[in-house]
Amino acid sequence: MAEENVNYAAVVFKNKKQPQSKSQKEEETVYDEVKVRNETAQQTSDSKAKAVEDAVYVNVQKRNERVQQTPDKSGFLSDKAAERCRRYQLLASCFGTLCVILVLSIIGVCVYFATVHESAARELNQVKSQQKVLLEENHNLTNLNNKLSSDYQNLTVQFNNLTAVSTALNNKTTTLTAENHNLTNLNNKLSSDYQNLTVQFNNLTAVSTALNNKTTTLTEENHNLTSLNEGLRKERENLTELIKNMEKTWNELNVSQAQWSIDAYCPKKAGVRNCTSCQDGWLLLSPSCYAYNNAAPSNQRNWESARDVCRTMNSDLTVVSNQPEKNYVNTISPADKDIKGYWIGLRVEEGKWKWIDGSDLTNQAWMQQQSATDGQCVTSLQKQEWKSVRCNERNAWICQKKALSV
């Protein structure tokens, strides 16, 4: 067999192992490069070479289509396939022209795998680039996660602190609410007490004002009383002096009165004194003496004035205590054309018939008119019952005084 020039391709595969990350579980095989060495020799037959190349090209295209339809799972050219290609190169150099078609087919396969390897390398570069980006993002996310963890811890501490503060504030709020309720009740009580005290204060103010006014009035009255007391003291001194003078005069009058009484009750006749129980002009009905005054109409008096006349004679209007005395008073009340009656000591006081000595009329039958009306006095007239007339009318009168025991 004649010697022929052979064109062949030499493929060199490099296996690099990258360090695995924590998330990578399988070993990555990186094919850095595929080198094809073309050694040129003179072809003995241009037409034969061209035919072989065309056949190889067609074969390679078919294989590419089949491989693309069923790609390797790993996506990379294995070490065993590379070793197989090297062996096929040795066989081709040994067997020459007879093995050229087989070698070219193998070379086509190797070229395909080299192409696949190149595509895988590009994808690997993209993956590496993405991996780098992802590592940077992972680093950034790790830093961010660490920062967030730190912030979370800080926030947890702050949350715990705030929770404790919130609990304390809640407890404080509860305490303050209770205190506020107690203070509200106390304030309401104080307000009520204040209102009561205000009312009491106003009342006390009014009382104090009244007392001040009363004190002022009493002070003025006390001043007036002091002045009056001083005046009364002076009057007392004057009255004391007057009493001394009156006692002296009274003693003198008593002596004169005694002498008058002796002369009145025991007059001298022919040098001899004869004493009687009633003075001259008085009528005796023991134990009293009576004198009636039958004055003319011009000299007649009202009840009070007639009593004053009796008093000037140490006597008073007649008081009757029994029926015999009433009958006697009736006999000494003589009727006259100018006399309508004689005043006696009986009149109306506070709706009752009373004697001038304060005693009540015991026998209402003695009165001609029994109804007692204030301003009414009683007159007596012979052969008539006692009559009630107005006290301001003018009449005669009868006086009475105690008889002298002889």
Q: How far apart are the C-alpha atoms of 369 and 392, rounded to whole Å?
A: 18
Interval 46-71: pLDDT, tens: 555 566 556 655 655 665 555 455 44
Angle at 150 between CA 145 and CA 153, to 5 degrees: 120
Please give the span between the terminal C-alpha atoms of the chain, in angstroms, as a whole number.
229
Q: Look up residue 120 and give its two tokens.
A: 């895988």
Q: Give the residue from 385, 376, 379 showing the smallest Cα distance to 344.
A: 379
User: Burial of 116 by CB count in 10 Å (0-12 exposed, 13-18 middle, 19+ buried)?
Assistant: buried
Can you give the pLDDT at residue 224? 86
Greatest extent of the chain over all pairs of C-alpha atoms, in Å:
245
d(C-alpha 69, C-alpha 66), whole Å: 5
Does the pTM surpass 0.75? The reply is: no
Retrieve residue 209's tokens: 């004002």
Give every residue of the chain whose pLDDT is below 70, as ranges: 1-104, 250-261, 263-265, 370, 406
Enter the tokens of residue 354.
Answer: 């009373």
CA distances, 325 to each of 175, 328, 396 (Å): 104, 5, 19
Kindly give, in sequence order, each residue whose CB lies less than 8 Å from that of residue 346, ignoring residues fewer than 6 positions away. 319, 320, 353, 354, 355, 356, 361, 377, 378, 386
Ordered structural domains, the chain, with CATH: 9-145 (no CATH), 277-402 (3.10.100.10)
CB atoms closer than 10 angstroms to residue 346 = 25
Phi and psi angles of residue 280, each rounded to the nearest 5 degrees, phi first: -60, 130
CB 369 within 8 A of CB 386: no
